[in-house]
Structure 1
Amino acid sequence: MSESGSGRGRIIVLAAPSGAGKTSLVHELLRRVPNLKFSVSHTTRPRRETEVDGEDYQFVRQDEFRQMIDEGAFLEYAEVFGHWYGTSREHVETLLTAGHTVVLEIDWQGARQICEAVPAATSVFILPPSLAELDRRLRGRATDSEATIKRRLAEAFSDMTHWTEFNYVLINDDLEQAAAELAAIVHGRDDVHRTSARRVRERIEAIVSGGAGS
């Protein structure tokens, strides 16, 4: 899949550890940038009460997902927390051909696959302001057991080590500010949050090591 061609849209890849507030940030971004289209992923995980099939995810059975893999229907797919997630190749291609910029909300494994397949894609990694805040957010959901929270924290920390693979890194401390910064990245007007920037790298390394950064 290529992003080249007159009038063809672009791909924006967003990834984050669990608890970083990625979904809320995506919703705010879509509100701010009208031409963006959200690629609804397929998943085998159970639907939550607040989720709408076809809007939040395309919920499918394990055997349906496996069949789609065999048919080459996914642009990327990965297993996360024991469930499978995948991005429909046909859906993304349709949106790109129509000239839309497509937002993919996926994990780092899927982001790596997308960026290998589409080098022109813009990738952004979202982080919480600190590990303590990540712990607070995960516990604040009040839906998981202590064992599940600890597992999510461990896997979130592991996910955070992949931030260097992305073009940009944002700290989701304040939703409004982070959304404005993300919109600037989408419009190609933000070099401040490039992963290569020294200040960015210093702050992220502080967060990953357990500090809050500055």
Structure 2
Amino acid sequence: MNTPPILKTSAARVGIGGPVGSGKTALVERLIPALLGRGIDIAVITNDLVTAEDAERIRRSGLIDPARVSAVEAGACPHTVIREDPSLNIEAADELERRFPGVELILIESGGDNLASTFSRDLTDLWMFVIDVGGGDDIPRKRGPGVIRSDLLVINKTDIAPYVGADLVRMQREACEVRDGRPVLLTDCRRGEGVEAVVDLLERDVLFRR
């Protein structure tokens, strides 16, 4: 007798981490309409040190119902509430699911941190790490845990490579080398380039739609 598969009934949870200024919030703002445009029911959690600034920015954007955006104030190093003790984020995600029973995907944006930032597997089904070209094309060679271990590495701000003297081709190649085949995607969130590829990956690897 074949045992039927266990169906996941709770929303998938996707972490988005990376250094300050790498473009995490800009990526979230691009992902929201792209996900909604594919009929995916979503909610958002942002993490900041002692403010709700990123949450308020997204609420004011008009991209999503403001009630679907929650803010977590870390009160300490940003990685504390996404790795060491993610209970505040787990509680926030659970509350969003109670208020919006149909939600399929919750984006959890970390506060800006360094290359050592990682997400607890108790919190996320998949986590991506966002770096940007302006931070230097040598970031992959520094081999921080965020770059090495994340399920998806996003190299953002590709448009500024010529202006900061970055070798984008080498940066992408070296990122692929240190990640042992795990995906690397390039984005320019200012123009929205590369965002659909991120959504494709989330549909395939998190929502299992493809």
Which residue matches 2:127?
123
The normalised TM-score by structure 2 is 0.51
What's the % identity of the aligned pairs? 10
The normalised TM-score by structure 1 is 0.50
Measure how far apart 1:165 and its partner are.
1.7
Which is bigger in relative contact order (C-alpha 8 A, separation at least 6)?
A: 1
From 99, 102, 105, the counterpart of 1:98: 102
**Per the alignment, do residues 57 and 171 of structure 1 end up closer, same or farther by CA in structure 2, a change over 3 Å counting?**
same
**Per the alignment, do residues 131 and 101 of structure 1 end up closer, same or farther by CA in structure 2, a change over 3 Å counting?**
same
**Per the alignment, do residues 160 and 41 of structure 1 end up closer, same or farther by CA in structure 2, a change over 3 Å counting?**
same
SS of equivalent residue, structure 2 residue 204: coil
**Per the alignment, do residues 95 and 24 of structure 1 end up closer, same or farther by CA in structure 2, a change over 3 Å counting?**
farther
What letter corresponds to residue 30 of structure 1 in structure 2?
A: I
SS of equivalent residue, structure 1 residue 187: helix
What letter corresponds to residue 177 of structure 1 in structure 2?
A: E
**Per the alignment, do residues 91 and 159 of structure 1 end up closer, same or farther by CA in structure 2, a change over 3 Å counting?**
farther
Measure how far apart 1:104 and its partner are.
0.9
> Unaligned 5+ residue runs, structure 1?
66-75, 80-84, 134-156, 190-214
**Per the alignment, do residues 130 and 101 of structure 1 end up closer, same or farther by CA in structure 2, a change over 3 Å counting?**
same
**Aligned Cα root-mean-square deviation (Å):** 4.5
Which residue matches 1:183?
199
- The 5 Å alignment of 1:1-214 reads 5-34=7-36, 35-41=40-46, 43=48, 45-46=50-51, 51=56, 55=66, 58=71, 77=81, 86-87=88-89, 88-94=92-98, 98-106=102-110, 111-113=118-120, 115=121, 117=122, 121-132=125-136, 160-172=144-156, 173=158, 174-175=188-189, 176-188=192-204
> More deviation in 33-42 or 168-177?
33-42
Distance in 2, matches of 1:185 and 1:131, equals 25
Measure how far apart 1:179 and its partner are.
1.4
**Per the alignment, do residues 177 and 42 of structure 1 end up closer, same or farther by CA in structure 2, a change over 3 Å counting?**
closer
SS of equivalent residue, structure 1 residue 12: strand
Distance in 1, matches of 2:29 and 2:151, equals 21
**Per the alignment, do residues 179 and 160 of structure 1 end up closer, same or farther by CA in structure 2, a change over 3 Å counting?**
farther
Q: How many residues align?
A: 147
> Unaligned 5+ residue runs, structure 2?
1-5, 60-65, 159-187, 206-210
Distance in 2, matches of 1:49 and 1:112, equals 19
